[in-house]
């Protein structure tokens, strides 16, 4: 790769590491924020989300790699203690590119891409909405909201909702409830539903007032929105594979 850039979390450790990377790579590649081929994300998984959104207009030509300045993340492969190895690997190692699937989220107003998930969240009152899978009515949901995550996002918000962790990325999406109401009068599936990329989810409501649409770290209002469509996008985020860290290792380091 000829052109690179660094997206850095605004803490002193990340900034120091970012400076070391600049010193190491400026003789190898050109620093180009506008048109990079490689984006190095220095920070946490949150920084990687930010990086992908920052370059979402050029996903076909850019590839991401992450150096984590906290404990090892799910979207990053190197830890800050491995900076020398990272520099060495960029200089000398053959790399491959792997894809992370994204969600395509369309409302009657806008289209969004999500790496982790979309959330429909209402903290003011019960959100009532109809859920369709491939145009077939599934349920009327009542509760705080719903979350649809990718494989990449399965270890984030989805996990806190009791959703499953998905190993591997074959274009799966997982629908999970946020505090659903389940009793004799109102009932929805309750468990998470995992769908492959051949499926589409359609949400419809007379009233999304007071709900917000969360897309990864971003939040949008749902004013004048009455339906939301979700599918696996045909655009992927490309990631540089220089070092292999197994999902089991990541799970153990993060959670066990
Ligand atoms: P944030 O503070 O940047 O992130 C919240 C935490 O989620 C951080 O510890 C972050 O890790 C971690 N995270 C992000 N993506 C992850 C992934 N794919 N797998 C495992 N952990 C991941 O919060 P934010 O900017 O509002 O939201 C960004 C993301 O945070 C959202 O997409 C959502 O999934 C997640 N989040 C989770 C919860 C929850 O679990 N209850 C609540 C809010 C947000 P780093 O520390 O490495 O950045
Ligand atoms: Mn964060």
What confidence tens digit (pLDDT) does each residue in 188-219 have? 999 999 999 999 999 999 999 999 999 999 99
The one catalytic residue in 45, 77, 89, 216 is: 45
Model confidence band, residue 25 (pLDDT cutoffs 50, 70, 90): very high
For residue 230 and ligand 1, the question of a CB distance below 6 A is answered with no
44 Cβ closer than 6 Å to some ligand 1 atom? yes
Q: Which of 76, 86, 82, 103 is nearest to 254 (CA)?
A: 76
- Mean pLDDT, range 167-186, rounded to an integer: 95
45 pocket-lining for ligand 1 (C-beta < 6 Å): yes
Helix (H, G, I), strand (E, B), or coil: what is residue 85? helix
Give the residue, by CA position, lying nearest to ligand 1 atom 22. Answer: 156
Is 45 catalytic? The answer is yes
| 44 alpha carbon – ligand 2 mean position (Å) | 5
Q: Determine if ligand 1 sits within 6 Å of the CB of residue 74.
A: yes
Q: How far is the CA of 140 from the centre of ligand 2 (A)?
A: 33
Return the ligand 1 atom nearest residue 160 CA.
Answer: 40
User: Do residues 59 and 238 lie in contact, with contact meaning Cβ atoms separated by under 8 Å?
Assistant: yes
Kindly report, residue by residue over 99-121, the tens digit of the pLDDT: 999 999 999 989 999 999 999 99
Per DSSP (E only), the strands in 115-195 are 117-122, 127-133, 136-150, 173-180, 193-195
Q: Match 């909201």 to its residue by tokens.
A: 145
Ligand 2 centroid vs 217 CA: distance in angstroms? 9
User: Which of the residue ranges 26-35, 70-79, 158-167, 212-221 would you say has the lowest mean pLDDT?
Assistant: 70-79
Residue 184 alpha carbon to ligand 1 centre in Å = 35
Q: Which ligand minimizes its atom distance to the CA of 216?
A: 1
Residue 112 to residue 107: CA distance in whole angstroms: 9
């Amino acid at each position: 790769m000829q052109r690179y850039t660094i997206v850095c979390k605004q803490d002193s450790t990340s900034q120091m590491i970012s400076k070391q990377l600049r010193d190491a790579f400026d003789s190898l590649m050109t620093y180009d924020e506008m048109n990079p081929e490689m984006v190095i994300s220095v920070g946490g998984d949150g920084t990687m989300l930010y990086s992908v959104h920052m370059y979402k207009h050029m996903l076909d030509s850019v590839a991401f790699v992450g150096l984590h300045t906290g404990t090892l993340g799910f979207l990053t492969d190197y830890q800050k203690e491995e900076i020398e190895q990272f520099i060495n690997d960029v200089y000398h190692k053959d790399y491959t590119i792997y894809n992370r699937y994204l969600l395509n989220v369309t409302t009657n107003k806008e289209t969004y891409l999500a790496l982790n998930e979309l959330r429909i969240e209402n903290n003011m009152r019960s959100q009532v909405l109809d859920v369709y899978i491939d145009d077939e009515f599934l349920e009327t949901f009542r509760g705080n909201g719903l979350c649809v995550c990718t494989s990449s996002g399965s270890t984030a918000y989805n996990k806190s909702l009791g959703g499953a962790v998905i190993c591997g990325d074959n274009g799966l999406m997982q629908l999970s409830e946020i505090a659903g109401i389940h009793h004799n009068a109102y009932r929805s599936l309750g468990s998470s539903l995992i769908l492959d990329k051949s499926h589409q989810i359609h949400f419809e409501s007379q009233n999304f007032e007071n709900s917000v649409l969360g897309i990864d770290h971003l939040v949008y209002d749902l004013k004048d929105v009455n339906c939301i469509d979700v599918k696996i996008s045909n655009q992927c985020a490309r990631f540089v594979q220089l070092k292999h860290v197994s999902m089991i290792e990541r799970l153990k380091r993060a959670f066990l």
